[in-house]
Amino acid sequence: MKKTIGILGGISLASTIQYYKKITDLYYERYNDYYYPEIRINSLDFQYFTDLENEHRTEEYINYIVKGIHALEKSGAEFVIMGANSPHSVFNEVLNKINVPMISIVESTAKRATELKLSKVLLTGIKYTMQATFYQEVFKKYNIEVITPNEAHQDEINSIIFNELVINIFADKTRKRMLDIVQSYHVEGVILGCTELPLLITQNICPIPVLDTLSLHAKAALDFSLNEEYKSLSFT
């Protein structure tokens, strides 16, 4: 029996749509039928969520995420994924307050980096993610070094995400600029640590391995739902 997937979405709209699309597209690619797993989506208030992050109102932030997941539980979700990188900064705190398994986007990405034998990667994302330590803490267990862009580049990437990507603006000049930033660092791969970034940067245009966190997370969710061999650590 397939497990019902719960997606905590709205953080942001652009990536939530992609989660739904990638999970269902991947299922069809594998089985060529329409027996998709059932999916529940709870869309949060993106501005309120972002305000809590920017103002470091951590307790309120955790409680808002937990409230959203509890709604998914009540709707029948048998496990959940948070459809963004940044809330994984409080992954363990949230996990302790919910009643279903939760799959980590960071662990899913670290597993893939290990498969690619990467030892040093660049983390891109919103400033909240780039200035936190949750990616470094998880990747350290896999002996992979995670570095972040300098402050000027962080400001630039953050602006690109909030002023363009989350409202579905994907300009060629922005794509080129992001690639220029990535290539200015001596790393073996790049983490697209915001679930909107894979809509801008793809492996076929980047000269180093791209860790598309959204796709890796979606695949892990589908694998878990289908009870297939599950290589991404889910809830430890």
Residue 51 above 70 pLDDT? Answer: yes
Compute the mean pLDDT over every residue in the chain, rounded to the nearest whole number.
94
Per-residue pLDDT of 104-130, as tens digits, reads: 999 999 999 999 999 999 999 999 999
> Residues 170-192: what's their mean pLDDT?
97
Q: How confident is the model at residue 5 (pLDDT cuts 50, 70, 90)?
A: very high
Q: How confident is the model at residue 232 (pLDDT cuts 50, 70, 90)?
A: very low
> Residues 47-69: what's their mean pLDDT?
97
Here the contacts of 137-143 (C-beta below 8 Å, separation 24 or greater) are 138/104, 138/106, 138/107, 138/110, 139/106, 139/110, 139/113, 141/110, 142/110, 142/111, 142/113, 142/114, 143/119
Terminal-residue alpha carbon distance, the chain: 23
Instruction: Determine what percent of the chain is predicted with pLDDT higher than 70.
Output: 96
Helix and strand numbers (H, E) in the chain are: 10, 7
Residue 29 above 50 pLDDT? Answer: yes
Q: How confident is the model at residue 230 (pLDDT cuts 50, 70, 90)?
A: very low
Q: How confident is the model at residue 41 (pLDDT cuts 50, 70, 90)?
A: very high
Task: Write out the two tokens for 198.
Answer: 């894979």
Residue 231 above 60 pLDDT? Answer: no
pTM above 0.85, yes or no: yes
> Residues 159-184: what's their mean pLDDT?
95
Q: How confident is the model at residue 228 (pLDDT cuts 50, 70, 90)?
A: low
